[in-house]
Chain A
């Protein structure tokens, strides 16, 4: 077993046993479910909206070459400096390079999972820069030196009390668990940071090819301030963020809000197309866009699973996933957790090291059912399992299945094996639930049904 798989199993066991935490997650999921249902009912025809969204994204990723060129051409026409990064390390170097060139000291960053993916904060801090997260949830997990717990809700695992205590410890404020007070504390810290920051870093929700614009959707107004106040703006985005046309946002903005947070629309929706233009009173003087591949073109080359690039990072599959609800986000030890993380992480970070995530699913399909862009998530888990076993089979498991296939295809042998199972069953009682029990993975928490005194096939034979 690989180290990530071992760590996953240990952590999952720990988290599954943490009932208060599970209940907290369950409560958050319940609230999301209600809000989402409400918001979804605002769509005249949700299934048709999903279909349209899936087709639009499918078209976008299948013609990425064309759309990316168009996107970049239009950005450059407005004076944006565009950088292409093949790997996370290259993207780090580009951004650290800009910060050095600008002689920056402090940077402020709005919410960006792509920056988490490339561990941007670590790279900047290593290079001697200070980075502050401006999204409240991200700010909280940054203070805790933790990665985000959920793609959309980075601090969903914490209570108000936890956050108040954290602020008291890290910021020296009076302990409180009143949400308004907590927000005020964060705002006071953040306002200073916006003004002090030399560079603002953002992610992107969508990249509009037709107009060469980045669309950012948010609820706190922090991304706007991050983009507008510092003299230099850097946006980091994966190449799959492309949408062909501006009008596509009419579907995707409400869809992302509905699936992600259960809102009809997020509070702030902003388009960024370039640095301050002549005659404009505000905005950054310099605007850099960093386009990241980091394994995406490899996924694109996989005809069977390329549709995973349709993902708009709404986090809906995490809420829907009973496994996520049982073990929480950090257990995955990946940037993207839940079903979408289990599907794409093996492509981004290596199949053999991350295939255990695809195995850790009951394949219930709640993820695919909820996905707004109709990614066939749970079936991709099956395909990852197949690819993993084909590339590097588990010798014992393979042998077991070969034996099993041999046996079930030979009625005579199989009949006898059932008789043997019935005969040895009483002996199972002696070892049941102990480490000697061959079925202990089952019997530690569950009773095993007995082999019937007369199997169906025996009944059937006798009857005839």
Chain B
């Protein structure tokens, strides 16, 4: 299968290894991976801030570039939800409505794609560490992805997964919310980190780099030992 990667702007800029890991994992499974360079962002920051006209400008470009893709795989539940759930609303009643609907059907969050679409659960990865999993809200509630990342982690050698009490509680990132209401965002993140720390884990794992960027920023500022890592980076480990 030819798989088109959708690399979110912040993954490209700050977490390239997440994308590299996805390429490795998918190529090892024998698929052809392509990545259109002309796409930089899904437009979610503008959309979430209420500037739908500006979001459409960005999203139209995405629609056009991904028109002929066979399957689109996204490293983030948040951008995934944007393409899959919010594009149809963003373009409802416009000339692009049917294109947005068609695109939505071809988009997959990375872990869900592996497990539900490809039927792959064991990638032969090895990662000797104790981890806890953070459900990104968009992946969990907009896309309904709860089990796939856990199934994948359960097959990683030497990895021990301990669930935290607040696994499904928002980490407080929320895109522009994190800078518009930094004090609320920060205390939400602190609740999350405390819950993760209580499991004794070495890493918070998630399928969304945006949540991890926020949590990692808090943990590093506070000098904690707890680290963060994207699911794809674990799955690529040998």
Q: Are B54 and A404 in contact (CB under 8 A)?
A: yes
Q: Are B51 and A359 in contact (CB under 8 A)?
A: no
Shortest distance from the beta carbon of A341 to any chain B beta carbon, whole Å: 15
Q: Are B174 and A362 in contact (CB under 8 A)?
A: yes
Report A-chain residues with C-beta under 8 Å of the C-beta of B186: 16, 445-446
Assembled-state Cα–Cα distance A6/B12 (Å): 36
Contact A389 to B51, CB < 8 A, known contacts A362-B173, A365-B137, A456-B20: yes
Chain B contacts with A in 177-225, Cβ cutoff 8 A? 177-189, 191, 213-214, 216-218, 220-221
Report A-chain residues with C-beta under 8 Å of the C-beta of B50: 382, 385-390
Shortest distance from the beta carbon of B26 to any chain A beta carbon, whole Å: 13
Partner of B46, one of A405, A450, A451: A405
Q: Give chain B's interface residue range (CB within 8 Å of chain A).
A: 35 or more
Report A-chain residues with C-beta under 8 Å of the C-beta of B141: 364-366, 368-369
Assembled-state Cα–Cα distance A451/B173 (Å): 19
Q: Are A364 and B184 in contact (CB under 8 A)?
A: no
Q: Are B54 and A362 in contact (CB under 8 A)?
A: no
Shortest distance from the beta carbon of A109 to any chain B beta carbon, whole Å: 34
Shortest distance from the beta carbon of A283 to any chain B beta carbon, whole Å: 47
Q: Are B216 and A362 in contact (CB under 8 A)?
A: no
Q: Are B177 and A447 in contact (CB under 8 A)?
A: no
Contact A360 to B177, CB < 8 A, known contacts A322-B191, A454-B16, A460-B35: yes
Q: Are A442 and B184 in contact (CB under 8 A)?
A: no
Contact A404 to B14, CB < 8 A, known contacts A445-B218, A456-B7: no
Q: Are A408 and B188 in contact (CB under 8 A)?
A: no
Report B-chain residues with C-beta under 8 Å of the C-beta of A389: 49-52
Comparing A73-81, A100-108, A159-167, A395-403, the segment that makes contact with chain B is: A395-403
In the assembled complex, A323 has its CB within 8 A of some CB on chain B: yes
In the assembled complex, B163 has its CB within 8 A of some CB on chain A: no
Chain A contacts with B in 202-239, Cβ cutoff 8 A? none
Assembled-state Cα–Cα distance A327/B142 (Å): 25
Q: Are A442 and B178 in contact (CB under 8 A)?
A: yes
Partner of A361, one of B61, B174, B187: B174
Q: Are A401 and B54 in contact (CB under 8 A)?
A: yes
Partner of A326, one of B45, B137, B188: B188
Partner of B183, one of A17, A402, A452: A17
Report A-chain residues with C-beta under 8 Å of the C-beta of B15: 449, 452
Q: B61's closest neighbor in chain A, by CB?
A: A409
Q: Are A445 and B49 in contact (CB under 8 A)?
A: no
Partner of B49, one of A22, A361, A401, A458: A401
Q: Are B45 and A401 in contact (CB under 8 A)?
A: yes
Q: Are A326 and B38 in contact (CB under 8 A)?
A: no
Shortest distance from the beta carbon of A34 to any chain B beta carbon, whole Å: 12
Shortest distance from the beta carbon of B4 to any chain A beta carbon, whole Å: 12
Shortest distance from the beta carbon of B209 to any chain A beta carbon, whole Å: 9
Assembled-state Cα–Cα distance A261/B48 (Å): 33
In the assembled complex, B71 has its CB within 8 A of some CB on chain A: no
Report B-chain residues with C-beta under 8 Å of the C-beta of A404: 41, 45-46, 54, 58
Count residues of chain A with CB under 8 A from any CB of chain B.
63
Q: B33's closest neighbor in chain A, by CB?
A: A460
Assembled-state Cα–Cα distance A165/B218 (Å): 39
Shortest distance from the beta carbon of A15 to any chain B beta carbon, whole Å: 9
Assembled-state Cα–Cα distance A452/B45 (Å): 21
Contact A450 to B183, CB < 8 A, known contacts A382-B48, A389-B50: no
Most buried by A among B19, B58, B184, B220: B184
Q: Scan B118-147; emit 1 where CB is below 8 A from any A CB, else 0.
A: 000000000000000000010001100000
Q: A389's closest neighbor in chain B, by CB?
A: B50
Q: Scan B9-26; emit 1 where CB is below 8 A from any A CB, else 0.
A: 101111110111001000
Assembled-state Cα–Cα distance A368/B179 (Å): 24
Contact A450 to B58, CB < 8 A, known contacts A359-B180, A363-B137, A457-B37: no
**Chain B residues within 8 Å of A, Cβ to Cβ:** 7, 9, 11-16, 18-20, 23, 35, 37-38, 40-41, 43, 45-52, 54-55, 57-58, 61, 137, 141-142, 168-170, 172-175, 177-189, 191, 213-214, 216-218, 220-221
In the complex, besides A363-B137, A411-B37, A456-B16, 17 extra interface pairs with C-beta distance below 8 angstroms are A16-B184, A16-B186, A17-B187, A323-B184, A325-B191, A359-B180, A362-B177, A363-B175, A387-B50, A418-B13, A444-B182, A450-B14, A451-B13, A451-B14, A452-B15, A455-B13, A461-B37
11 sample A-B contacts, Cβ–Cβ < 8 Å, listed by A number: A369-B141, A387-B50, A401-B54, A405-B55, A408-B61, A418-B13, A441-B182, A442-B179, A445-B217, A449-B217, A456-B16
Task: State the 8 A-B residue pairs at the shortest beta-carbon distance, nearest first.
Answer: A362-B174, A446-B217, A389-B50, A364-B170, A385-B50, A365-B141, A456-B16, A364-B137
